[in-house]
């Protein structure tokens, strides 16, 4: 389950039967500034985020993504752990099992605590985006609130006609959008009564000051070209038209202009995914590019890899990018064995680039490469990596380089990367466990440049940038 999109609407054309592309200007037709970064404050509660807001802002993040805030599965005896062998003692993924779309749960806190967090964010100029998940409910359908069941018109109307069947083939769009992803009961997101109930929740978040959303399991909610659940009385797949403010439902409509929001969908890349159609509504996750970055880290070299290609059919401006996500860290621990300094080197490379919007996943406090869960407490801040000097330096570099063209150079058998940004700056990355020499072309004027973090000097002469890089270290040079 994953997150992000920036979206700006240039024009909305009111048309009852018009296609999505006629109603909405594509994200790719907009041109985002390319200077923002997101901190994924994974499993932090509202008071913790508020307490650390000043540090977050000083580290150069323009947005914070919270974990899901709606009511969720809360078994008796839960002890607030990120992970436990005895599941009832606590799990991070409980908040991915909604029981109602009302603000507040045992993990992130209550509505008043959220209000206080929003006040702190406003004070420091940080936008809050919320992870939302209208696609499914908790496994235990008896735990779903009576209010939600009643609002949807009854339990049978809350779910798709085959919504309790687990997906067997994720490349089959009928199963992918109308059956239970991960066996989670699949909500009938085309039910007008559910849409109204959900949009009231969204509008309540917007009233608190939320200015963006990550749509979890977005590719499991159908677009117009996908199969329609006629057995449930559905006539069209219009959830995204409603969620993005193009349509109202029973008198309820998105109460903030969509162009003012930052929204992206977890559309994990695979076969038969209508990425271009999703692009008409929101930005998408660049999961394939993240996989390539982790391959690069494991090799300790970019040699043989096309590190410029975003590996996505959507325009790169629309993508939310990451080195790792909470899913790659937690689910199969795909990325959890990578060291913090490896993650840091790839973050500097990714964030120094001029496209996409990078998201930094905050690993658990106290985590090691043998103990992935660290202190193992829900609600606490992650480890110190999110404000490491190299991470902070490249976050600020990204903002200051907005509009500058990128030029990516490699040397030392692909172990050293330079991301040049016009004539204004360069980010240098050593992927190797050994010191490596740098000798690449650059547009920086001749002279001596001192790195922002360590004060190390590099020289430019006749268009060549040279120096020596310490093992798994990054450097930021600016005019």
Residue 404, CA atoms < 13 Å, CB-side half-sphere: 25
- Alpha helices (runs of H) in 209-310, residue ranges in sequence order: 239-243, 275-279, 287-299
Which DSSP category does 42 fall into? T
Can you tell me the distance from the alpha carbon of 85 to that of 469, in angstroms, rounded to the nearest whole number? 43
Can you tell me the distance from the alpha carbon of 432 to that of 434, in angstroms, rounded to the nearest whole number? 5
Can you tell me the distance from the alpha carbon of 334 to that of 368, in angstroms, rounded to the nearest whole number? 15
Catalytic residue among 100, 131, 190, 266: 266
Catalytic residue among 190, 216, 238, 324: 216
Burial group, residue 461, by CB count within 10 angstroms (0-12, 13-18, 19+): exposed
Contact in structure between 297 and 345 (CB atoms under 8 Å) = yes
Nearest to 20 by CA among 280, 369, 343, 410: 280
Q: Both tokens of residue 30?
A: 């907009």
Asked if 277 is an active-site residue, the reply is no
C-alpha pair distances (Å), 364 with each of 42, 56, 325, 361, 463: 8, 16, 13, 10, 43
> Residue 279: what are its φ and ψ, rounded to 5°?
-60, -25
Which DSSP category does 314 fall into? S
Contact in structure between 135 and 181 (CB atoms under 8 Å) = yes
Buried b (16+ CB within 10 A) or exposed e, 88-117: eebbbbbbbbbbbbbbbbbbbbeeebbeeb
Burial group, residue 285, by CB count within 10 angstroms (0-12, 13-18, 19+): buried
Quick check: helix, strand or coil at residue 201?
helix
For the four alpha carbons of 148, 151, 154 and 157, in that order, the dihedral sign comes to negative
The residue written with tokens 């917007």 in the block is: 206
Asked if 317 is an active-site residue, the reply is no
The CB density around residue 413, as the number of other CB atoms within 10 Å, is: 12
Torsion of CA 304, 305, 306, 310, to 10 degrees: 170
Catalytic residues: 216, 266
């Amino acid at each position: 389950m994953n997150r992000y999109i920036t979206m700006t609407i240039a024009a909305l054309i009111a048309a009852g039967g018009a296609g999505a592309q006629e109603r909405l200007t594509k994200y790719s037709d907009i041109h985002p500034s390319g200077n923002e970064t997101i901190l994924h404050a994974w499993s932090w509660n509202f008071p913790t985020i508020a307490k650390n807001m000043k540090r977050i802002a000083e580290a150069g993040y323009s947005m914070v993504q919270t974990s899901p805030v709606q009511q969720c599965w809360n078994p008796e005896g839960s002890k607030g752990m990120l992970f436990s062998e005895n599941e009832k003692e606590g799990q991070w993924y409980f908040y991915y099992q909604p029981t109602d779309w009302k603000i507040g749960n045992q993990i992130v806190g209550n509505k008043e605590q959220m209000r206080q967090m929003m006040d702190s964010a406003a004070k420091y100029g940080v936008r809050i985006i919320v992870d939302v998940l209208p696609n499914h409910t908790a496994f235990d359908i008896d735990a779903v609130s009576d209010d939600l069941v009643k609002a949807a018109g009854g339990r049978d109307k809350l779910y798709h006609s085959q919504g309790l069947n687990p997906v067997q083939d994720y490349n089959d769009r009928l199963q992918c959008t109308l059956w239970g992803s991960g066996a989670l009961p699949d909500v009938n997101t085309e039910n007008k009564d559910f849409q109204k109930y959900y949009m009231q929740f969204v509008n309540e978040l917007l009233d608190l000051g939320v200015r963006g959303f990550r749509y979890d399991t977005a590719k499991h909610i159908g677009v117009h070209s996908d199969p329609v659940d006629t057995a449930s009385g559905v006539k069209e797949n219009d959830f995204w038209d409603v969620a993005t403010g193009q349509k109202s439902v029973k008198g309820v409509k998105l109460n903030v202009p969509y162009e003012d929001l930052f929204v992206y969908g977890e559309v994990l890349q695979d076969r038969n995914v209508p990425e271009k159609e999703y692009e008409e509504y929101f930005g998408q996750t660049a999961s394939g590019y993240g996989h390539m970055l982790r391959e690069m880290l494991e090799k300790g070299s970019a040699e043989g890899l096309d590190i410029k290609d975003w590996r996505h059919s959507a325009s790169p401006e629309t993508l939310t990018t990451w080195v790792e996500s909470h899913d790659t860290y937690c689910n199969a621990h795909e990325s959890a064995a990578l060291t913090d300094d490896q993650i840091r080197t790839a973050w500097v490379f990714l964030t120094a680039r001029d496209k996409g919007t990078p998201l930094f996943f905050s690993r658990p406090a106290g985590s090691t490469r043998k103990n992935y869960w660290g202190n193992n407490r829900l609600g606490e801040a992650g480890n110190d990596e999110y404000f490491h000097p190299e991470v902070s330096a490249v976050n600020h570099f990204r903002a200051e380089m907005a509009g500058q063209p990128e030029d990516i150079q490699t040397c030392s058998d692909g172990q050293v990367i330079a991301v040049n940004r016009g004539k204004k700056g360069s980010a240098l990355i050593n992927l190797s466990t050994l010191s490596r020499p740098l000798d690449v072309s650059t547009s920086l004027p001749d002279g001596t440049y001192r790195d922002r973090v360590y004060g190390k000097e590099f020289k430019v002469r006749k268009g060549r940038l040279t120096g020596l890089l310490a093992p798994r270290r990054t450097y930021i040079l600016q005019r």
